[in-house]
Amino acid sequence: MTRTGDTDLTAQSTSEAHAEAAATAGVQGLLFDDDLRPMPEDVGFRGPTACAAAGITYRQLDYWARTGLVSPSVRPATGSGTQRLYGFRDVLLLKVIKRLLDAGISLQQIRTAIAHLSKRGIDDLTQITLMSDGASVYMCTSPDEVIDLLAGGQGVFGIALGGVWREVEGSLSELPQERADGESDTHANDELAARRRARMTG
């Protein structure tokens, strides 16, 4: 378990507190799932699509791109007339930032947390739950770490990135996307839609 200032944290708790916190974590959907796969790296989403999926304004998107918080990884803006393309991971991070802002976390703390997340591989993100006490953001990589934070009274809320992944995947399955070469990609949309249907029926 890591606080986003690179400080290792340990929380001592009784087995009774562990059991109670585990039940709470299960109800809140904070525990982990690995049934998630990344989209192809050359498939991207234009700014308005990324905004719609993440629930943010275009002004926020533009500001965060200009300040380096989340830059479009598929195709950056290279001059007048070029369209930025955001990858799936980019949209996932945008959604996480929105959740943290809504919870009252400062943009400075969010920048630190996103910097840590950006160093991880896309598959690894699905195994992380972000917890916050309103002042610091903690990254938990196992259910036991989530339980320790809850039992210690430090974690006020949590964001399971696997759950955010599913939300973004569902939103993007209904929105237009294109490849880095400028071609539209209906196959990627079909793949996202198929994954969504499989989860709903499975």
Question: pLDDT tens digit string along 102-123?
Answer: 988 889 889 988 888 888 776 6
pLDDT of residue 6: 39
In sequence order, the 6+-apart residues with CB closer than 8 A to the CB of 71 are 65, 90
Q: CATH number for the 39-180 domain, one of 3.90.1150.10, 3.30.2230.10, 1.10.10.10, 1.10.1660.10?
A: 1.10.1660.10
C-alpha dihedral (87, 29, 60, 38), degrees to nearest 10: 0
Q: Give, in order, the Cα–Cα distances in Å from 16 to each of 12, 19, 22, 151.
A: 12, 5, 10, 9
pLDDT at 93 over 70: yes
> How do the domains of the chain map onto residue ranges?
39-180
- What is the percentage of the chain residues whose pLDDT exceeds 90? 23
| Overall average pLDDT of the 38-65 stretch | 89
Q: To the nearest whole number, what is the mean pLDDT of the chain?
A: 75
Q: Can you tell me which residue has the tokens 């990344």?
A: 38
pLDDT of residue 39: 62
More confident residue, 77 or 51: 51
Lowest-confidence pick of 39-43, 147-151, 196-200: 196-200
Q: Grade residue 50 by pLDDT with cuts at 50, 70 and 90.
A: very high
pLDDT of residue 129: 87
pLDDT at 32 over 80: no
pLDDT of residue 69: 94
pLDDT of residue 13: 37
HSE toward the beta carbon, residue 68, CA cutoff 13 A:
3
| DSSP string over 62-98 | HHHHHTTSS--SSB---STTPPPEE-HHHHHHHHHHH
Instruction: Judge whether 70 and 115 are in contact, CB under 8 Å.
Output: no
pTM across the whole model: 0.68
| Overall average pLDDT of the 125-152 stretch | 83
pLDDT at 16 over 50: no
| Overall average pLDDT of the 94-102 stretch | 93
| DSSP string over the chain | -EETTTEE------HHHHHHHHHHHHHHT-S------PPPTTEEEEHHHHHHHHT--HHHHHHHHHTTSS--SSB---STTPPPEE-HHHHHHHHHHHHHHHTT--HHHHHHHHHHHHTS-HHHHTT-EEEE-SS-EEEE-SHHHHHHHHHTT--SEEEEHHHHHHHHHHHHTTS--EETTS-B-HHHHHHHHHHHHHHHH-
